Chains A and B, each alone.
Chain A
Amino acid sequence: MPAVLVLFAVGVLAVLPLGRLVTAALVHDGVFDATLLIQRLARGATQRAILNTLDTSFFGALLALAIGAPFAFLIALTDMPWRRMQGFLLLLPLMIAPQVTALAWMHLLGPSSALLGALGMAPPPGTANPLLGRGGIIALFGVQHAPIVFITLRAGLALVPRDYVEAARSAGSGPLAVVWRIILPLLRPYLIAAVALAFVSGVGNFGIPALLGMPQNYLTLATLIYQQLASNGPAVLPQVAVLSLLIGVIALVGVGVQVAALRGGGFAMGRGMPVRFGLGRWRWPLAMGGLAVIGFMLFLPLVALVATSLVPAYGVPLSLSTLTGDNYVEVLVRQASTARAFFNSGYLSLLAAALLAVLAVPMALGLARLRPGLRQVTNGALELPYALPGIVLAIACILLFLRPLPLLGSLYATPWIILVAYLMRFAALALKPVDVALAQIPPNLLEAAAASGAGPLRRLVTIAAPLVAPASAAGALLVFMSAFNELTVSALLWSSRNETLGVILFSLEEAGLSTQAAAIAVVTVGVVVVLLLVLDRLGRRLPAGTLPWR
């Protein structure tokens, strides 16, 4: 019975939207027909967008590796001071919305940068913002996705068997030789997986190429879809369905590489105490260096963002006489749409988080009951809407819900289409911590209960649920944060009165109201930081591996 429920849930959450997309792109009048796909592929704009997507995502992933890998090694393998704090800070870029990251960096490096101006280092007027275009997108993909590399590599490093390392050390190898000859080869699957994951995230990223590429007509597939749909309306749905299928295929190749790399992962030896190298007199210089990099990556742009949010008009230098809180008053109090966006993003994220938290426990139990092969397929299907770019899911949802449905009516132009998309997209995020926690409940506990006559529902409520409750709460918080900051899904699904924070920020920036956009961005970062601290406290009571930074 639970197994049937799980299959039903996966069908609704994953198979239905993606199947609809494929048919919209490839089936016309009931027959398979690839002409639209071929026509679309033949266009220069499509080819340029494909090339730009591959190019920025690939080099962005390499940059993310260059930033994330040293931190993973230092934090996982050494006695560097302040490791835990650095690990926590390094995860922040992942939790900050990409459009906020882009905005912050643009304010940091442009000719009107308040910070660079104060140092006399601002580029002269008439210099294009160095971040606009290809280079900037790659740079910020690197920053935004370095945490993904960091998490993946650290997970791999935690599994490196201590025995190998100790054997090498006692045979006289120095620490660097051990890293090079023992650890790196063992880590190779994780390195490939990390780069593949960062690549997939780049392919799906909308906020960064939207703010850095669109002003220069440098389009990736995600921004091309947005532009086509935004200026032509539903008439181009079949066309953009084809484009989103292309994104989906590129992302799937990335996911495939990642899965293949980790297949049969895990090492011959069991995990013991993790390896720790002493850094000796390098301890403090490396810690300081790490903090400096994090400071540059995270704090300088955020300070620039705050500076922009405090001046009356974009381009005005920040000084005591120009300082104003007016932008905050405008977006938080005066403008109905921004105040509403805080409310909308809040309640939609909360609903999605709560629903998924409740659903995750029976779903994880049901998954555990499936045959291993079926279980793997089901799990994979469920992860697709999260792994695939948000814009693909948004198009699928428009296709599913634009025309009125029996009983439901049309969901388009209601907030519920956004909620349904959030449920589809973040189900995998909610399920994972619960899955981890469930695996750690001794099976004999449930067997004992069953033997004493407790039915499945009773076992669920009295044993499994209480034990995995903290994990499901953690999953819910992750869902909440992701949905609260989200732009890609809602950019195409919002309607009158249902605007989300991501949409409002993007719209303010497009209307030339950069200072107000900055004020919204600062507030959302504040909310996320508070939630992360809550999650971190909660993390102390969770099994290891539930939260990515613990």
Chain B
Amino acid sequence: MRTLIAAGLLLATAISPVVAQEGKLVLYTSQPNTDAQATADAFMAKYPGIAVEWVRDGTPKIMAKFRAELEAGAPQADVLLIADAVTMEGLKAEGLLLNFPEAKAEGIDPSLIDEDGAYFATKLITTGIVYNSAATAIPAGWADLVKPEYKDQLAMPSPLTSGAALIHAVTLTGNLAEGWDYYSALAANGAQASGGNGDVLTAVSGGEKLYGMIVDYLPIREAAKGAPVKFVFPSEGVSAVTEPVAILASAQNTDNAKLFVDFLLSQEGQQLASDMGYVPARADIALPAGYPARADIKVLGYDAAAALANETANKEQFSEIFGQ
């Protein structure tokens, strides 16, 4: 009898799904509030038993919060969905990420995925130029921004506040012939570097500055809502971050976290990213309205390993140039 019960129990465990589809999931993200909510809602619609709780802040700030919690011995997050792969690489090196090599990542360019499955690109977020429709000079490339007609009119995010802005600085200084001198020229031309991409959007759509360096989706999406802004893919090319997702080694809800990662990488999750106005990571999903064809977006490369090794030096160089 006892063996029968044991066998029955065994059978019951065997046929029940491998992962639990209930409980909760804590997401730390740098997505704007609206997108964080839309992502959580779509996931919860698919898995009604799982309650997603999310916290949103700029990448450096959300990381500071995570580290404070780690210090207090109470890390809250299960999943990170933040701007850039360099930060993820650093976390991976510290052993803070969980490898998830069995993630369902077919259809995503292998170059966008960590080889150990520690983190996965979910979209491409490029940084280009935004201008207010009242502007008379229309910029075509990065080189324009140091010209006299752009004097005191450029807002840019600070790498000290935004993960995407740090990669952007590394990419531009690595690809443009002038290197860091380009940033010195911007500073000399009165460019204001502070805050995150949201602050740049506010300044340009509010007409306080006419131009800005900014991630693509913010102005493209706000322009669709009627805001007086337009986005330019500069002729020299754009920098890009991949908004990677990763499961933390300290996660309390690992199974739900795996479901979440698979969801973001699935056709459905990628279509959601496109619907929200992002360039999806999967090549088989169409780009949202307002973007050129995928092949026409020229993405500049950067050395991620060097970026990680030189993170502090890069930030200091930037602070030095902009007097912060």
Interface residues of A (CB under 8 A from B): 45, 110-112, 124-129, 132, 214-217, 227, 229-235, 312-316, 322, 330, 334-338, 398, 402-404, 409-410, 412-414, 495-497, 499, 507-514, 516
Q: Is the CB of B76 within 8 A of A413?
A: yes
B184 CB contacts on chain A under 8 angstroms: none
Residues 62-102 of chain B: 1 if any A CB is under 8 Å from the residue's CB, otherwise 0? 01110111011110110000000000000000000000000
Residues 194-220 of chain B: 1 if any A CB is under 8 Å from the residue's CB, otherwise 0? 111111111101111110000000100
A315 CB contacts on chain B under 8 angstroms: 132, 205-207, 222, 227-229
Closest 7 CB pairs of A and B: A512-B198, A111-B207, A315-B205, A233-B64, A125-B134, A512-B201, A313-B227
A111 CB contacts on chain B under 8 angstroms: 206-208
Give bound CA distance, A126 to B194, whole Å.
17
Closest-by-CB residue of A relative to B26 is A496
A312 CB contacts on chain B under 8 angstroms: 225-226
Residues 299-324 of chain B: 1 if any A CB is under 8 Å from the residue's CB, otherwise 0? 00000000000000000000000111
Q: Is the CB of B54 within 8 A of A337?
A: yes
Identify the stretch in B30-38, B115-123, B138-146 within 8 Å (CB) of chain A at 4 or more residues.
B30-38
Smallest beta-carbon distance A504→chain B, Å: 8
Q: Is the CB of A126 within 8 A of B210?
A: yes
Among B26, B57, B69, B193, point to the contact of A507 (Cβ < 8 A). B57
| Known A-B contacts A231-B161, A233-B63; A126 and B134 likewise in contact (beta carbons under 8 Å) | yes
Among A128, A229, A337, A496, point to the contact of B28 (Cβ < 8 A). A496
Taking A214-B195, A216-B194, A233-B68 as given, write out 19 further A-B residue pairs in contact, using a Cβ cutoff of 8 Å, ordered by the A residue number. Answer: A112-B205, A124-B134, A125-B135, A128-B208, A214-B194, A233-B63, A234-B67, A312-B226, A315-B228, A409-B74, A412-B68, A413-B76, A497-B53, A499-B55, A508-B33, A510-B196, A512-B199, A512-B201, A513-B32
Residues 145-164 of chain B: 1 if any A CB is under 8 Å from the residue's CB, otherwise 0? 00000000100000011000
Q: Is the CB of A127 within 8 A of B208?
A: yes
Q: Is the CB of B56 within 8 A of A511?
A: yes
Q: List 22 A-B contacts (CB under 8 A).
A: A111-B206, A126-B207, A126-B209, A127-B208, A128-B208, A214-B194, A214-B195, A230-B64, A231-B160, A234-B68, A314-B202, A315-B227, A315-B229, A403-B72, A403-B73, A412-B68, A413-B69, A510-B196, A510-B199, A511-B32, A511-B56, A512-B200
Total A-B contacts with CB atoms under 8 angstroms apart:
179
B322 CB contacts on chain A under 8 angstroms: 217
User: B272 in the interface, Cβ–Cβ < 8 Å?
Assistant: no
| Known A-B contacts A216-B192, A217-B324, A336-B53; A512 and B207 likewise in contact (beta carbons under 8 Å) | no
User: B58 in the interface, Cβ–Cβ < 8 Å?
Assistant: yes
User: B61 in the interface, Cβ–Cβ < 8 Å?
Assistant: yes
Residues 223-235 of chain B: 1 if any A CB is under 8 Å from the residue's CB, otherwise 0? 0011111000000
Interface residues of B (CB under 8 A from A): 26, 28, 32-34, 36-37, 40, 53-58, 60-61, 63-65, 67-69, 71-74, 76-77, 132, 134-135, 153, 160-161, 192-203, 205-210, 218, 222, 225-229, 322-324
B56 CB contacts on chain A under 8 angstroms: 337, 507, 511
Closest-by-CB residue of A relative to B160 is A231
Of residues B26, B54, B64, B229, which shows the largest number of chain A Cβ atoms within 10 Å of its Cβ?
B64
Give bound CA distance, A234 to B199, whole Å.
25
A126 CB contacts on chain B under 8 angstroms: 132, 134-135, 153, 207-210
B135 CB contacts on chain A under 8 angstroms: 125-126
Q: Is the CB of B198 within 8 A of A511?
A: yes
Q: Is the CB of B153 within 8 A of A230?
A: no
Give bound CA distance, A254 to B69, whole Å.
35
B33 CB contacts on chain A under 8 angstroms: 335, 337-338, 507-508, 511, 513, 516
Q: Is the CB of A127 within 8 A of B207?
A: yes
Q: Is the CB of A495 within 8 A of B65?
A: yes
A402 CB contacts on chain B under 8 angstroms: 68, 71-72
Q: Is the CB of A215 within 8 A of B199?
A: yes
Smallest beta-carbon distance B33→chain A, Å: 6
Q: Is the CB of B161 within 8 A of A496?
A: no
B208 CB contacts on chain A under 8 angstroms: 110-111, 126-129, 132
Closest-by-CB residue of B relative to A414 is B74
Give bound CA distance, A322 to B226, whole Å.
9
Closest-by-CB residue of B relative to A510 is B198
A412 CB contacts on chain B under 8 angstroms: 68-69, 72, 74
| Known A-B contacts A496-B26, A511-B32; A410 and B207 likewise in contact (beta carbons under 8 Å) | no
